[in-house]
């Protein structure tokens, strides 16, 4: 099977982007890079410093100051990667409800996106990468070989996030998660800079009634079909 060199996966929170990205990258032997962790790391840093996540000037300055690394898993605790914020392992800390509730204004800040964009493109320039986010196919890598937009109903996405938090032994409230996701969808879809939307040439997949195995199988079949079409 001929493999696209760069694959992007965009979509709203809880749609299954991270799971698909990690499994697809593993299957292909590619680098898995979830760009959302960068915005979460900046948000965590802001909260720790007592900064207002809506203060664009302060958040932009912070994004330029902190050093964020994403590496293969360094601990066998179910993580898909390890996130380092100025050398500290914050892989699970960036998944806390406080970060969930404040990451959207940080991610919507033009200065923050500008500060992180060069690093995202630099990583993708090496090829053989599956990059996951909300504006990868539309802004970060508009010329990617294969673009996927993964979606699911709001209720199903909230249910998945609830189960994820509970599986780590943390307290969670489904209604709070649902409300937080609804707010985030509104912010992400209507922000002035890089709003959440499918790229014109993206393949849109609704995963509401699909488990992770079915989504992966669908994408692999899609790649086979495209390859057969290219060879005929």
Predicted TM-score (pTM) of the model is 0.76
Angle at 167 between CA 166 and CA 171, to 5 degrees: 20
pLDDT for position 136: 94
What is the predicted pLDDT for the residue at 44?
98
**What's the count of helices (H) and strands (E) in the chain, helices before strands?**
8, 8
- Of 39, 43, 44, the closest CA to residue 196 belongs to 39
pLDDT of residue 1: 43
Domain boundaries, the chain: 6-231
CA distance 5 to 144: 8
Which residue ranges of the chain lie beneath pLDDT 50? 1
Q: What is the pLDDT of residue 232?
A: 54
> According to the model, what pLDDT value does residue 71 have?
79
Query: Among 34, 174, 186, which residue's Cα sits nearest to residue 104?
Result: 186
Q: Give CA–CA dist 105/102, Å, rounded.
A: 6
Q: Are 205 and 151 in contact (CB under 8 A)?
A: yes
Q: Which CATH class is domain 6-231?
A: alpha beta
Contact, 20 vs 9, CB < 8 A? yes
Question: Residue 98: how many CA atoms within 13 Å on its side-chain side?
Answer: 14
Per-residue confidence (pLDDT) for residue 230, from 0 to 100: 61
């Amino acid at each position: 099977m001929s493999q696209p060199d760069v694959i992007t996966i965009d979509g709203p929170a809880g749609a299954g982007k991270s799971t698909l990205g990690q499994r697809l990258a593993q299957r292909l032997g590619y680098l898995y890079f979830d760009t959302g962790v960068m915005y979460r790391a900046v948000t965590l840093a802001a909260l720790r410093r007592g900064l207002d996540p809506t203060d664009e000037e302060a958040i932009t300055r912070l994004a330029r100051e902190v050093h964020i690394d994403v590496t293969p898993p360094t601990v066998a605790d179910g993580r898909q990667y390890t996130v380092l914020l100025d050398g500290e392992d914050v892989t699970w800390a960036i998944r806390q409800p406080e970060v969930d509730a404040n990451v959207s204004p940080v991610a919507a800040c033009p200065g923050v996106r500008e500060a992180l964009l060069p690093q995202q493109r630099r990583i993708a320039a090496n090829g053989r990468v599956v990059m996951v986010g909300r504006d990868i196919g539309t802004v970060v890598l508009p010329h990617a070989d294969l673009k996927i937009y993964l979606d699911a109903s709001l209720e199903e996405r909230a249910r998945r996030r609830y189960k994820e938090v509970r599986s780590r032994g943390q307290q969670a409230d489904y209604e709070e998660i649902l409300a937080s996701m609804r707010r985030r969808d509104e912010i992400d879809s209507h922000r002035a800079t890089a709003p959440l939307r499918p790229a014109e040439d993206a393949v849109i997949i609704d995963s509401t009634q699909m488990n992770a195995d079915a989504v992966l199988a669908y994408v692999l079949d899609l790649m086979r079909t495209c390859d057969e079409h290219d060879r005929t």
